[in-house]
Chain A
Amino acid sequence: SQQGEEDPQALSIQEGENATMNCSYKTSINNLQWYRQNSGRGLVHLILIRSNEREKHSGRLRVTLDTSKKSSSLLITASRAADTASYFCATADNTDKLIFGTGTRLQVFP
């Protein structure tokens, strides 16, 4: 079974619009992290939210965590063409290894 599943798999929006991506997971976690990956490049850490936190903000990013539903969402406000990338959630349990989701491909059109 998949630990992390993001939806939608792909999202296309215009610059200035907001983008929302969701992530669901199955097991207990210590934290959940969101990463961005430009095509063929490395993973850039965006934000970490711990299991006892419900919401975090970083610039234009807003992350929520609902441990009762085992789900998280990433909101990017006022999107820019430079936000075009794949976005992954990754969960960390007591063993500390990250289990990644399948990712959402975001395309922001100028």
Chain B
Amino acid sequence: EPEVTQTPSHQVTQMGQEVILRCVPISNHLYFYWYRQILGQKVEFLVSFYNNEISEKSEIFDDQFSVERPDGSNFTLKIRSTKLEDSAMYFCAIRGAFNQPQHFGDGTRLSIL
């Protein structure tokens, strides 16, 4: 049973549209992450989020991406104007204390047409 639930499991969207991917942890956590995995490639870090603000982001995480915790529970990743190359599996991860494991959700498969 994953410690974090991601919705939707699969999202198909037209290029240029906005998408919102959601992540709901089972219990309270302070540290949140988004990663992505393009088909056949390695998992890549996008952004980390702590205490309601971004603590680090990769160069992939450009202005079209944003994250927030709108209600203190859901953690969302928004892609404003999707591109074909955004097609990937997006994973949310959570962590407790420092130097503890990151636990991943089952992912959202995003397909841009």
Complex CA gap A20/B95 in Å reads 28
Complex CA gap A35/B44 in Å reads 14
The answer on a CB contact under 8 Å between A100 and B102 is no
Complex CA gap A40/B45 in Å reads 18
Q: How many of chain B's residues have a CB under 8 angstroms from any CB in A?
A: 27
Q: How many of chain A's residues have a CB under 8 angstroms from any CB in B?
A: 25
The answer on a CB contact under 8 Å between B42 and A100 is yes
Q: State which of A42, A92, A101 has its C-beta within 8 Å of the C-beta of B106.
A: A42
On whether A95 and B56 interact (CB within 8 A), knowing A31-B99, A42-B104, A42-B105, the answer reads yes
Stretch at the interface among A10-18, A43-51, A60-68, A70-78: A43-51
Residues from chain B with a CB closer than 8 A to the CB of A88 are 42-43
The answer on a CB contact under 8 Å between A48 and B101 is yes
Asked if B65 CB lies within 8 Å of chain A CBs, one says no
